[in-house]
A and B are shown apart, each in its own frame.
Chain A
């Protein structure tokens, strides 16, 4: 492990710590990290807190540079970071505040099955899913599109998939932004990005992306579970994927471009990877339009992945997905920038909110929520590692007040991929998981080892913090039964 971070962390309360603005000259606001004392020890192990301080340099940043308890060392921004900038005050947009995998996100699907009914079929399901859902590095899909159609995907997002018959209107209602951000401009996307994205619709990808069959093993709020139609022992499915090569290329294209904006707009940041441009500049607007294209592509991708999953279930059980009750609970983005209205010092402001490894968590009554979730607050989906748990939470009013309506996004890495590869044996790990009743299929053993549970923080501890801090609320917990890894 690298050196322990020695900077100042002032305790605000049991779940909130501040890096004062005075820590480094150039910080425009303080840094705030959500964590308890236990997690803080892990957080000090790498350079993530330094990155929280670096993000505080961004022009126009409002309130504070925020970090969630799953924070870990990224490049430029930390993973688990939230930063909002005010375009009217010269606020910037930064590709690093979104990441290469634009609109990497998760969706949660429920079923009518109880674990006891299908526990003998999990293996069949995983094998069919593994063969029918393309996964792995550079995987290519069977859902092939022409370049004209690809442009349509970039504008319409998940709606494109629904029009093709890969889903329903209800799926769109249960997707953040209804599956497409308005204002996506395909002309802002380079030819190379098109080529890189062409063959990859309906593919899972690799690394930490996965498809998981789960069972609800703990209910925290039975009233909310009733609202969502969820009960103890019920089978759910979780899909984690993003915009694939198209997103990487867009991030690369605009990071290249924005390196030159630092001198053009006289922006002082301590890490070149934090390259950025004013939201209202031509460069900022072009990036935002292109980012929306990748975000929409990712929503179409996850919609296609859900379609393939429903089809695989139909193949195994011989009944329609509708009869199996395979309804989408919600789909959230956790690498994205949005223009959102927030109340700052009693005044409504339109801010550019970056969520890099953080999830939107809008509270009850928010206008962006579909009617069905107006009362509950926005469903928030938190995937854990393949050996532990995942969670369904809801957004809260407190998140609106403290974190620009944001919360954590997952467990957060604790061990580097190289350290994991050195210390973990793939076959032993697979046996251990199988003894816990978890079947894993992956296209390579390298991924299994890199993504081993030991490489992650305990998601239970992470969720405990966001729940107790009040920035989201626990609904129920799932545990994995079968996992497909890219």
Chain B
């Protein structure tokens, strides 16, 4: 599974670093380093909403406070 977090300027200002940190932590806590690849990219083309996060080919718009539930509902559920 591939998780891509946008770290471009607009998303960065909306908290992409906090999202990356949380995801890194969650991946480590759940021992998923082998299964989930976390990468950054400079633009996913949807700068107007929250931080753009792509789970494989599906695009989500998230805020740092949404990450825990996103991880449980979308990432863990799909593994």
Tell me if chain B binds chain A: no
